[in-house]
Amino acid sequence: MNRQAVLHTVAYTVLFIFFTLLFVLVNYPSERLTDQVNGLIQAASQGTVSVGNARVKSPFSLAVEEITLDVGQRSVDLGRGVVGVRILGLLSGKKGADVRLENPWLNSNWTFVTSGEGWDLDVRSMEINLSEIPDDILPLPLRLDGKVDVSLNLLSDDSSQGISSGEVRVTSGPIEIGGDLLESLGFAPLGISHVSAVATIENNVVTLRENVIKGDLMVSARGAIRIVPANYMASRLDITVELRPGKEYRERLVPLLRLMGAQPKADGSVNFKVRGTVGKPSITM
């Protein structure tokens, strides 16, 4: 057999194997695949994330639907997503995936890579539509309108030890806050012109950097959050927040703050501390 015939035979064999694998993947039972995906996701998320359905979308990507996040006693519907496996990364010993997650209130693109005992999470873009956030996430009698953009990168050298380093950035354009509660107090609608927040993470300690809200209410925050890797809801809060109302709302807000036990300064500003845990925060003025 000459060289050309050998090459043709090899090429046909490779194509046959490829299309055979493709046929098997496309026709792989969805229920069985869903069970396997849930086994992997729940193990990685400590039982907080699950999916209702999973199916193969292409040879190297997976479509998942009915993604659910359990937060304390609440369950949050995260919608659907597409997971693309990084084939080239497997050759270097790194398991990675590109993920697109979307629902009425969230649209995000991120990459997750594991190597050895560690992992790297890079959220390139995350847009949150405040008007569509479900009550399960924000159980407050408020009406929000506007969008928030989030980007973050988290690195762990050892998954059992939590987050080694990272950075989180949050920005927004104009936001409007309304609702029956604020309207009854004469504060609706409140306008926020801009939100800018930066936090860095080092060995499971989140340090708040430049964090400001500008608008009818001026807010700044500083402090730290000590992450508990075994239970993120038990992470300890140590944050100081300064709130200063704009001139239009100062006369109405200052008496309300005094009724709550605060001592506003001459410009109407007040400082309060947020302690406790993420799951059970405590606010003192």
Annotated domain spans of the chain: 1-82
- For residues 30 and 51, the answer to whether their CB atoms sit within 8 Å is no
Q: Mean pLDDT, the chain, as a whole number?
A: 81
Q: How far apart are CA 240 and CA 273, in angstroms?
A: 5
User: Whose CA is closest to 57, among 88, 84, 29, 86?
Assistant: 84
Q: With bands split at pLDDT 50, 70 and 90, how would you rate the model's confidence at 176?
A: very high
Tokens, residue 192:
């926020």
Percent of the chain's residues with pLDDT above 70: 80
User: Whose CA is closest to 154, among 125, 123, 121?
Assistant: 121
Q: How far apart are CA 139 and CA 148, in angstroms?
A: 18
Name which residue leads in pLDDT, 95 or 283.
283
Q: Is the pLDDT of residue 23 over 50?
A: no
pLDDT at residue 113, as a whole number: 82
Q: How far apart are CA 54 and CA 37, in angstroms?
A: 7
pLDDT at residue 46, as a whole number: 63
pLDDT at residue 237, as a whole number: 95
**Amino acid present at 82:** V
This prediction's pTM: 0.77
pLDDT digits (tens, 9 = 90+) for 55-78: 877 667 778 888 888 766 677 788
Tokens, residue 154:
């988290």
Residue 119 CB neighbour total at 10 angstroms: 21
DSSP tag of 141: S
**Mean pLDDT along residues 262-276:** 88
φ/ψ of 91, rounded to 5, equals -70, -25
Q: With bands split at pLDDT 50, 70 and 90, how would you rate the model's confidence at 43?
A: low
Helix, strand, or coil (residue 188): coil
Specify which of 4-13, 15-24, 143-152, 154-163 reaches the highest per-range mean pLDDT. 143-152
